[in-house]
């Protein structure tokens, strides 16, 4: 039975990837960082099928110990400080975790398990102020946030460990992907949850920032499949994973509100605090290499994704589950 180590298993992608790998017959080891309150909500339903081990990307020694103890065949490095606005508030932490965390894991793999296969969770945020449309594996990077810059570092260190040491180290450049398990501060979840709250009379409006930004938005369950396919290839490489479509935040609002018979223009209010010091205006990926080499293509469409998320949040709120409001504390001061 192959063994996979997932960092970031408590996150959105970690939970979908763990489910997927269990289905493929893997023993799944999930690295979880210590917290005063443990939040395993996204993996509760599979907790008895996976092994959780305490660890942190900030701590090199613990990574080495985990690799020595579990000797995974595949390492999926999904852990990161992943929220772009927070990366302006906490740029050093973002660099330590999102950038140097990759080096710590790669260095551990190089010394302990050089025959393992490594997946780095790279991001379309690396393209930032885009140099071409659509963005492919050969598009130059121009990050627009400490998060984007940290991901560029992690991407290039992955390429460098591949080329310097011959490691099977692959970088998946994933465009935005959501799901009902998406963190509440990310825009598509903020909208789906906000619409459901308005429908049920729990909120009056939905404060948002830039509605003009455009994103290539897929379903997390589709995108994690591509991660696994990448590590099944004989040679490590870089792959863009995207839908090839782009939609504005305004369009997300239109689709989400109309799902519950509402007009977004009656409820969405402009809130300067959700605008960013530097914006990524347009992302749209060219997933043709992933299609050609991996045989990967997305199944869930943009509209299906937004409907899935709105339906799920409506059910969640109807069942009386209250989620903490995390969006306020991640706002940025006016420029
Ligand atoms: P997420 O939901 O924010 O999950 C991040 C995970 O990283 C959580 O499990 C978190 O643990 C963990 N983590 C944070 N700091 C850590 C540390 N110091 N040591 C160990 N674990 C730590 O992110 P996601 O949406 O699943 O994304 C997965 C990865 O793909 C991330 O690297 C993200 O940057 C990247 N990515 C995401 C997208 C997207 O649209 N979702 C697109 C491209 C790339 P806690 O639960 O303890 O906080
Ligand atoms: O913003 C605009 C905002 O925070 C999307 C992460 O998973 O994908 C994600 O990064 C857009 C931006 O995601 C609000 O200005 C408007 O243009 O949902 P987001 P992101 O920054 O694209 C990439 C690929 C990753 O790698 C990241 O880890 O929506 N927007 N109003 C807003 N965004 C938020 N969060 N909140 C608003 O109120």
The 10s digit of each residue's pLDDT in 180-229 is 999 999 999 999 999 999 999 999 999 999 999 999 999 999 999 999 99
CA-derived radius of gyration, the chain: 19
Closest-lying ligand 2 atom to the alpha carbon of residue 82: 28
> Residue ranges of the domains in the chain?
3-177+220-241
If you write DSSP's letter for every residue of 134-156 in order, what string do you get? SB-TTSPP---SHHHHHHHHHHH
Take atom 38 of ligand 2 and give the residue whose Cα is closest.
Answer: 208
Q: Partners of 32 in the beta sheet?
A: 54
The finding on whether 82 has its CB within 6 A of some atom of ligand 1 is yes
Domain 3-177+220-241 has CATH 3.20.110.10: no
Write down the pLDDT at residue 321.
Answer: 87
Task: Using alpha carbons, list the distances in angstroms from residue 283 to 157, 176, 206.
Answer: 23, 9, 24
Take atom 43 of ligand 1 and give the residue whose Cα is closest.
Answer: 123
Regarding pTM above 0.95, the answer is yes
Take atom 6 of ligand 1 and give the residue whose Cα is closest.
Answer: 8
Active-site residue identified among 16, 26, 76, 147: 147
Burial of 231 (0-12, 13-18, 19+ CB in 10 A): buried
pLDDT one-digit tens code per residue, 47-99:
999 999 999 999 999 999 999 999 999 999 999 999 999 999 999 999 999 99
* Mean predicted lDDT score pLDDT of the chain: 97
Are the C-beta atoms of 233 and 162 separated by less than 8 Å?
no
User: Pairing relation of β-strands 206-208 and 218-219?
Assistant: unpaired
Best CA proximity match to 176, nearest among 14, 281, 284:
284
**Ligand 2 pocket, residues with Cβ under 6 angstroms:** 82, 84, 123-125, 175-176, 185-187, 190, 208-210, 213, 215, 249, 274, 276, 279-280
30's CB contacts (< 8 A; 6+ apart) are: 5, 6, 9, 10, 14, 18, 43, 50, 51, 52, 53
Write down the pLDDT at residue 333.
Answer: 58
Q: Is 125 annotated in the active site?
A: yes
Ligand 1 center to 20 CA (angstroms)? 17
Q: Partners of 320 in the beta sheet?
A: none
pLDDT one-digit tens code per residue, 117-171:
999 999 999 999 999 999 999 999 999 999 999 999 999 999 999 999 999 999 9
Phi, psi (deg, nearest 5) at residue 265 = -65, -20
Best CA proximity match to 173, nearest among 238, 98, 247:
238
- The Cα–Cα gap between 287 and 303 comes to 19
Active-site residue identified among 123, 124, 145, 179: 123
Q: Is 123 annotated in the active site?
A: yes
Task: Using alpha carbons, list the distances in angstroms from residue 154 to 81, 82, 104, 183, 243.
Answer: 13, 13, 10, 22, 23
Q: Is 328 annotated in the active site?
A: no
């Amino acid at each position: 039975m192959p063994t996979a180590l997932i960092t970031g298993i408590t996150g959105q992608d970690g939970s979908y990837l763990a489910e997927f790998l269990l289905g493929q017959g893997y023993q799944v080891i999930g690295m979880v960082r210590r917290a005063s309150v443990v939040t395993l909500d996204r993996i509760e339903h599979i907790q008895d099928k996976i092994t959780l081990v305490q660890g942190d990307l900030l701590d090199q020694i613990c990574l080495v110990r985990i690799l020595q103890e579990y000797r995974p065949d595949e390492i999926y490095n999904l852990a990161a400080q992943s929220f772009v606005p927070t990366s302006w508030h906490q740029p050093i932490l973002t660099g330590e975790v999102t950038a140097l965390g990759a080096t710590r894991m790669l260095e551990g793999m190089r010394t302990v398990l050089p025959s393992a296969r490594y997946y780095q969770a790279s991001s379309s945020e690396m393209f930032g102020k885009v140099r071409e449309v659509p963005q492919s594996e050969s598009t130059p990077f121009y990050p627009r946030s400490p998060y984007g810059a940290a991901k560029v570092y992690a991407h290039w260190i992955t390429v460098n460990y591949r080329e310097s040491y011959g490691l099977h180290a692959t970088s998946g450049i994933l465009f935005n992907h959501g799901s009902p398990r998406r963190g509440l501060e990310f825009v598509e979840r903020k909208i789906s949850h906000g619409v459901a709250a308005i429908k049920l009379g729990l909120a009056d409006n939905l404060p948002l920032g830039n509605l003009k930004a455009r994103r290539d938005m897929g379903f997390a369950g589709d995108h994690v499949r591509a991660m696994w396919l990448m590590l099944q290839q004989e040679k490590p490489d870089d792959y863009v994973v995207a839908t090839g479509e782009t939609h504005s935040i305004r369009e997300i609002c239109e689709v989400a509100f109309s799902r519950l018979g509402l007009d977004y223009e009656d409820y969405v209010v402009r809130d300067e605090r959700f605008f960013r010091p530097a914006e990524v205006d347009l992302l749209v990926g060219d997933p043709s290499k992933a299609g050609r080499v991996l045989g990967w293509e997305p199944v869930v469409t943009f509209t299906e994704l937004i409907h899935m998320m709105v339906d799920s949040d409506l059910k969640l709120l109807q069942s009386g589950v209250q989620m903490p409001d995390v969006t306020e504390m991640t706002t940025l001061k006016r420029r």
